[in-house]
Amino acid sequence: MPGYLLRLFGVAGLLLFAAPLAFAAGANDPWPGLVQDIFSNRPMNDGSDVIAIEMPTRAEDAAIVPVTLRTKLLPGDIRQVLSITLVIDENPAPMAAKFQLGPDAKVSEISTRVRVNNYTDVHAVAELSDGKLYMTKTYVKASGGCSAPAAKNADEAKGRLGQMRYRQFGKAGEGPASGAREAQIMIGHPNNSGLQMDQVTQLYVPAFFVNELRLWQDDNLVLTMEGGISISEDPNIRFTYVSNGAKRFRAEAKDTEGHVFEREWKIDDSGI
């Protein structure tokens, strides 16, 4: 099992067997254990000037909770953000995603959607070029009603497997001259959590999810994501970056069953 899978899923496995204890978890902050498991106990510095995390105060739809990560380094700061790790403490697989930012793409904002199972702290940890980790966090209340962190239309989710879409957005207040671009990649995938039990066999259905996504402008890396089962069905990444004048945008996604999905689009640079 590759290292990232162990990290993404090993924690899920452990928590799965500890499920009866999950309710007492509120009194027992899982964060110190997660710092150990995910970040090898490296020191956490205050990240409030480095990174912002935005989520609604309540998970309205448990299966699709929007989250935005934004870098806050000032223009003169010589440090660069290398990666951002998103951790949903009380989820069955807390490590939701690790984003690595392309060295020249100046990614300043990443939005995606996650599943939220419980009342939980959500941590964003940025690793900077100074070799240190910077942490910020927010708190999300679980959804009410019959909302669940599961597929709404399981057949449709399967039917969309591997479809990929790319979209560019106009960036308000910034003309094309600044080079700032906002774009979105959508990947049709059930991103199945694997946490449901088959009632006949009494075995857990294997998880099936996108574990790797890479995005390039021409041959320059913009962004990569190591994803886990906390990322919502049909993984959707919206991000802001700086164009290098590339004419092509390329995406490659891999899932836990070894599928590789690749697609390339022409960049519309006509004046957004």
Identify residue 25 by its one-letter amino acid code: A
Q: Which is nearer to other proteins, 113 or 123 (CB)?
A: 113
Minimum gap (Å) between residue 39 Cβ and other proteins: 28
Question: Are 54 and 67 contacting, i.e. CB atoms less than 8 angstroms apart?
Answer: yes
Candidates 5, 10, 22, 137; binder of other proteins (CB under 8 A) is 22
Question: Looking at residue 231, what DSSP letter applies?
Answer: B
Question: Are 45 and 132 contacting, i.e. CB atoms less than 8 angstroms apart?
Answer: yes
CA angle 25, 52, 46 (to 5 degrees): 70
Mask 206-245, x = binds other proteins (CB under 8 A)? Answer: --------------------------xxx-x-x-------
Q: Which is nearer to other proteins, 92 or 102 (CB)?
A: 92
CA atoms within 13 A on the CB side of 150: 8
Helices (H), the chain: 3-5, 11-17, 31-39, 154-159
Question: Are 110 and 222 contacting, i.e. CB atoms less than 8 angstroms apart?
Answer: no
Element (H, E) at 109: strand 109-114
- Is residue 197 part of the contact set for other proteins (CB under 8 A)? yes
Alpha carbon distance 214, 150 (integer Å): 25
- Is residue 149 part of the contact set for other proteins (CB under 8 A)? yes
Q: Which is nearer to other proteins, 165 or 214 (CB)?
A: 165
Q: Which range touches other proteins (CB under 8 A), out of 93-101, 162-170, 243-251, 258-266?
A: 162-170
Q: Which residues contact 39 (CB under 8 A, 6 or more apart)?
A: 85, 125, 133
Candidates 13, 42, 52, 68; binder of other proteins (CB under 8 A) is 68
Candidates 45, 80, 111, 244; binder of other proteins (CB under 8 A) is 111
- Is residue 113 part of the contact set for other proteins (CB under 8 A)? yes
Mask 69-108, x = binds other proteins (CB under 8 A)? Answer: ----------------------------------------
Candidates 145, 245, 258, 271; binder of other proteins (CB under 8 A) is 145
Minimum gap (Å) between residue 170 Cβ and other proteins: 7
Alpha carbon distance 190, 156 (integer Å): 9
Question: Are 125 and 134 contacting, i.e. CB atoms less than 8 angstroms apart?
Answer: yes
At residue 243, the 3 state secondary structure works out as coil
- Is residue 175 part of the contact set for other proteins (CB under 8 A)? no
Interface residues toward other proteins, by CB under 8 A: 19, 22-23, 54, 56, 60-61, 63-64, 66, 68, 111, 113, 117-118, 142-156, 160, 163, 165, 167, 169-170, 186, 188, 195-199, 205, 232-234, 236, 238
